[in-house]
Amino acid sequence: MKRIAFFGLALVASAICAQAADVMVMNPWARATPPGASVGAAYMTLHNAGATEDRLVSATTDAADHVEVHEMSMDNGVMKMRQLTDGLKIPAGQAIEMKPGGYHLMLVGLKQPLKVGATIKAIVTFEKAGAVPVEMKVEPIGASGGQMKMDMR
């Protein structure tokens, strides 16, 4: 009976690992912040190589009190930012680029300014693929994209 239970757990674990392999987190980076800033932004490209939609549901980092998934958009010539409380959909077989002026992670309650050249460790969590650890290099304040880097899970 113990062998059957162990085999069942092994099958469940392998299914979870296989699903996590469907999500690739590419080019994670963050923008430097000025002294005294309480918020910062992080970006990355999320590629879903799987056959079903997934969703970025949350993120955490020790660099901030909490992290929110946000979207910036233009509405009648006015830039608006809103939190995506239901997360960010990543369609099957597609990539979503999180970049300045669009989707991003808002680092709220920064514990110290984000300095150029520093590395921020974070965990991004997907509805199906689960938690994926990432390291984000901090780029200059006006940067529009980080250097190419990829974490595959």
Q: What is the pLDDT of residues 46-62, one digit of tens each?
A: 999 999 999 999 999 99
Domains and CATH numbers, the chain: 2-142 (2.60.40.1890)
User: Whole-structure pTM over 0.85, yes or no?
Assistant: no
DSSP assignment string, 1-44: -HHHHHHHHHHHHHHHHHHHTTEEEEEEEEE---TT--EEEEEE
Q: What is the pLDDT of residues 121-138, one digit of tens each?
A: 999 999 999 999 999 999
Specify the 3-state DSSP secondary structure of 141.
coil
Tokens of 145: 């994209």
Q: Tell me, what's the pLDDT at 12? A: 40
- Per-residue pLDDT at 117 exceeds 60: yes
The mean-pLDDT minimum among 79-83, 96-100, 104-108 falls in: 79-83
